[in-house]
Amino acid sequence: MNSWARVKSKSTLLLALVAAVALLAACSSSKSSSSAPGVSGKTVTIGGGEVVTGPFNFLLPFTYGVQAWVKWVNDHGGINGYTFNYDTADNAYDPSRSLTVMKKLVNQDHVFAVVGDVGTIPNNAVMPFIKQTGIPDIAPGFSSDPFVKEPGIANYFPANPVYRYATEFLAQFLTKQKSVAKLGLLYENNDVGTVAKAGFEAYAQHENLSVGPELAVDPTAVDMSSYVSRMKDAGVDGIVWWGASIPQLSTAEKDAAGSGYHPLWAAGFYNADPSLFKLSNGLANGTTFFDSYMVGPDASTPAASDYRAALAKYFPNAQPGLLSQQGFAAGEIFGEAFKKATANGQKPTWKDLEAALNTLSDWTGSLVYSVTYTSSRHIGSLKEVVVAAQDNKFVPVTQPAAVPQY
């Protein structure tokens, strides 16, 4: 081989080596990027759907809560040097639109994690997509019932209670502590309410109770008089209401009172929003109780104090309530795990975030009474209190207790 051929051969080899190194670097970069989407320098973008339009837009305070947490954390120095953006879009509480919004957040906006995506119907619609992508989904705003049968979904970290168990918890409170003689059930006729029906029937069977009507409520119904009339005629003195619509609950209470019927009401925690007092013309006070897996809005805990201060600063027109508390709590749970995952200078990754979440054991540093996850157990809170509507506030009237699981 002549000298020119040797030079050419060496040059070709050198170029091949350079190309190989460049390819490896690109692959490494791509791998790093794919393991931590939504991270740009020291800024992390998280996201979730919100309900701005449509008949369920009363759920918007939930998103206020998440956004308040993000702003609060950023204004207090961030977490381990990182600050956060919250990317959201209106899903209108519609299943198809919710999936479109979530695909955009994940595939186009490349959020690092889903935090506080609101609503049972939207979350049920996006669940297969979330499971497929593997993106961490922290404290989604829907029932933990799916996680009873499948508690080990690696990337889901629910905080909400199991609605079946929560219904049992409320029925137990009405019969054991409020001496209700005959229970009735009004439940939203979709995924929100059907699990509650199962819990109501399980409790009645366990206690050998003779109960009143169990009525499926059309989510679009405006007139509630026919539903409450059947309860009244059956002699029901305690109604468990399990539906997302605060306007429907308030209308039912007004229709009942207008006919001279005054039962006690027990409803899901997401109905414990200040708008209920105005919508019910104050009728909720003294007659309506809610389950809650969180400390009350007026609690003296550090988390509650931060929540009230953040809401007042960033959303001064919003009153404290369990809906916005949910969103704030979602941020707190994410924040605690993110702090652990990025300790000692580690860069944010899904793997480290999920590993950190799985170390939370009876964690009480958020608005939630207790948060526990393990690699094989991802389920919402199994400890709750009863909150009463009193003087236009939501006041805990029991101590935290384990929910029934019939």
Q: What proportion of the chain, given as a percentage, has pLDDT over 70? A: 91
Residue 333 vs residue 322, higher pLDDT: 333
Q: State pLDDT tens for residues 250-264.
A: 999 999 999 999 999
Instruction: pLDDT band for 31, please (50, 70, 90 cuts).
Output: very low
pTM for the model stands at 0.86
Tens of pLDDT along 221-244? 999 999 999 999 999 999 999 999
Give 270's DSSP letter. Answer: G
Say what the pLDDT of residue 191 is.
Answer: 87
Residue 34's SS3 state is helix
Least confident of 33-42, 307-316, 387-396: 33-42
C-alpha to C-alpha distance for 332 and 324, rounded to whole angstroms: 13
pLDDT at residue 114, as a whole number: 98
Q: How far apart are CA 376 and CA 151, in angstroms?
A: 7
pLDDT at 30: 33
Topology agreement, domain 39-161+297-375 and domain 164-292+387-402: yes
pLDDT greater than 70 at residue 195: yes
344 or 74, higher pLDDT: 74
Provide, rounded to the nearest whole percent, the portion of the chain with pLDDT above 90. 85
Classify residue 139 as left (phi > 0), alpha (psi -120 to 50) or beta.
Answer: left
Q: Is the pLDDT of residue 180 over 70?
A: yes
Please enumerate in sequence order all residues whose Cβ is within 8 A of that of 13, keeping only pairs 6 or more positions apart, or say none: none
Please, what CATH class does the domain formed by 164-292+387-402 belong to? alpha beta
In whole angstroms, give the CA distance from residue 147 to residue 376: 11
Residue 177 has pLDDT above 60, yes or no: yes
DSSP letters spanning 40-67: ETTEEEEEEEE--SSTTGGGHHHHHHHH
Residue appearing with tokens 């540093």 = 365
Residue 163 token pair? 């609605």
Q: For residues 13 and 140, what is the distance between their CA atoms, to the nearest angstrom? A: 54
Closest-CA residue to 216 (of 247, 238, 248, 246): 248
What local confidence, expressed as pLDDT, does residue 9 receive?
A: 44
Confidence at residue 150, expressed as pLDDT on a 0 to 100 scale: 85
pLDDT for 151-170, tens place per residue?
889 999 999 999 999 999 99
What number is the average pLDDT over the span 115-126? 94
Q: Read off the pLDDT of residues 78-104 as tens digits, 9 standing for 90 and up.
A: 999 999 999 999 999 999 999 999 999
**What one-character-per-residue DSSP string does 121-147 give?**
HHHHHHHHHHHHH---EES-BS-STHH
- Top CATH class of 39-161+297-375 equals alpha beta
| 11, pLDDT greater than 50 | no
Distances from the Cα of 98 to the Cα of 51, 118, 125, angstroms: 10, 10, 7
pLDDT 10s digits, 274-311: 999 999 999 999 999 999 999 988 899 999 999 999 99
Beta pairing class for 156-157 and 43-50? unpaired
Q: What is the pLDDT of residue 98?
A: 97
Distance separating alpha carbons of residues 377 and 210, to the nearest angstrom: 35
Domain ranges of the chain: 1-32, 39-161+297-375, 164-292+387-402
Joined together, the tokens standing for residue 109 give 């906006």
- In DSSP terms, 238 is beta-bridged to 183, 264
Please give the Cα distance from 182 to 362 (Å, whole number). 36
- Evaluate if residue 317 carries a pLDDT over 80: yes
Residue 5 has pLDDT above 90, yes or no: no
